[in-house]
A and B are shown apart, each in its own frame.
Chain A
């Protein structure tokens, strides 16, 4: 079966500004696929094009076997979208919003269980403007799932949620996928990617700069290892500098950082032991996705 999304050489220009530059990727069925990148990198443009809300400048895109430019309405019947900067009418009540959005689809889900699932059952008579940020967010997600979509785009799913609500919505995203829905997650939250996503695309200045599983990205980006420890008086950088496989030793007060290739930790520990130095905080440090992101794009993810 074809992929849920297939993108080849997709480019989008707004006048002279290139929002997406020759992006190619695919998303498998029932995958949770993450899209990360700094603000203005082109993430939202990408999902807007995939959802048929914007037209592309060039390249090919197939979503659920449809061309979003030509079959936008047929596509929207089968997908769900949680957008940024989209609101509901202030005085619309929660149950009315759900009833309204259900009416747009041929096969909507029953609304009461949906509200229960997203913890909105006791807010069903509240007006939209009376909801907290988190409640609004949950309502938007419920609306995105109202048509049993085969594919759902969630743009900054947990942006307005507190940590507890965030964890809860991760569980729900897993449930959504377990029911057979493909999930596209645009996010700034690295933890969300590490815990949820099967694969991630990193986008910067409209270009795809990395693509793979979270593990692959961590490995690929960091060819070198780092070892940290605090040194006592007897330590001298020359003890390590001369060893093969070590690329640098830097000292900042008592803090020592050694970089090198494989077996670094064993090598450092062994050398320190022969000098009878036994630092209690000797540790290797794995790059987090945050670090990798910074290295790939030159910008911190959260700015």
Chain B
């Protein structure tokens, strides 16, 4: 207990320590620790960074990236990479995030955090930031390798692609938190997350280009949020411009899922 008496007086409250700074206390440390924890989880690292890269290499090896008439003169990799980006976002937000948060609640990790002055928003922010960092890393890795090996065409509207990535990520994050709030354990959250993720992965054009789909399948799978994400990214990538329908749908998902998840979220 040495130094205890001395400590009490040594930290006068700075007049600058506004409410905001107080609210954020602990957030940067929490983010740092969660980043480290993510890296220590082999499954998380594999599915976020390695798995999409694996798909790129497998399909890249099989089909190459030579211009093809069925892809409007683009190569197979050129038209698949937007889907792989959507896949990274989907994996992180629909599986990784809900499973982690539900497990944190199930094992009382949230319970322990709540017993401190830490704000609930800091816990949510930390998870959003950590997942954003790793999915961005996954995306940059994909683009880097695709450029290096297959000379993939880079985005015509890079800022648009970045903004679309951010919007998609936030919308799917909100869904991830909703799942974590609605399903009490890591197991059930994983089951439901998978049920939402995997069908969309194949039906949206994330895992294979939509150009390969028959017309009826294209029409039926159009309203899926992941389809909208792939389309939005694709259009911006090739300079077609903003697909405002997709922007509207994804914003709607973000707002509705975000609002509902703040109501259903439980610490214990």
Residues of A within 8 A of B (CB): 51, 53, 73-74, 76-77, 81, 83, 85-89, 91-92, 96, 99-101, 103-107, 109-110, 113, 117, 143, 148, 175, 178-179
Q: Determine the residue in chain A with the shortest Cβ distance to B10.
A: A107
- Residues B115 and A81 in contact, CB atoms below 8 Å apart: yes
Please tell me if the beta carbons of A106 and B109 are within 8 angstroms of each other in the complex.
Answer: no
* In the complex with contacts A85-B111, A96-B36, A91-B117 CB distance below 8 A: no
- Knowing A87-B109, A107-B11, the reply to whether A92 touches B33 (Cβ < 8 A) is yes
- List 4 tightest A-B contacts by C-beta distance, closest first: A103-B29, A86-B112, A86-B108, A104-B26
**A105→B116 contact, CB < 8 A:** yes
Interface string of B1-34 (1 = CB under 8 A from A): 1111001100101000000001001101110010
Q: How far is the CB of B46 from chain A (nearest CB, A)?
A: 15
Of the candidates B29, B115, B119, the one whose C-beta lies within 8 Å of that of A53 is B115
Interface of A is mostly: loop
| Whole-angstrom CA separation of A178 from B107 in the bound complex | 33
Known A175-B1, A179-B1: A148·B112 in contact at CB below 8 Å: no
Bound CA span A103–B241, Å: 45
Contact status of A53 and B104, CB under 8 A, knowing A89-B109, A91-B37? no
At the interface, yes or no: B263 with Cβ under 8 Å from chain A? no
Q: Chain B residues with Cβ under 8 A from A106's Cβ?
A: 11, 13, 22, 25
Q: Is the CB of A88 within 8 A of B7?
A: no
B 140-157 to A, binary, CB cutoff 8 A, 1 in contact else 0 = 000000000000000000
A88 touches B11 (CB 8 A): no
Once the chains are docked, how many angstroms separate the CA of A101 from the CA of B28? 12
Instruction: Kindly list chain B residues whose C-beta atoms are within 8 Å of the C-beta of A101.
Output: 116
By CB atoms of chain A within 10 A, which of B13, B30, B107, B115 has the most? B115
- Beta-carbon nearest neighbor of B41 in chain A: A91
Given the complex, which residues of A lie within 8 Å of B115, measured CB to CB? Answer: 51, 53, 76, 81, 83, 86
- Can you give 29 A-B contacts (C-beta < 8 A)? A51-B115, A53-B115, A73-B117, A74-B117, A83-B115, A85-B108, A86-B112, A86-B115, A87-B108, A89-B33, A89-B104, A89-B109, A91-B41, A100-B30, A100-B33, A101-B116, A103-B29, A104-B26, A104-B116, A104-B117, A105-B116, A105-B117, A106-B11, A106-B13, A109-B4, A109-B7, A113-B3, A148-B4, A148-B8
Q: How far is the CA of A81 from the CA of B115 in the complex (A)?
A: 7
Q: A73-B117, A85-B111, A88-B112 are in contact. List 15 more A-B contacts (CB 8 A).
A: A76-B117, A81-B115, A83-B112, A86-B109, A86-B111, A88-B109, A91-B37, A91-B40, A92-B33, A99-B29, A100-B30, A104-B26, A105-B116, A106-B11, A178-B1
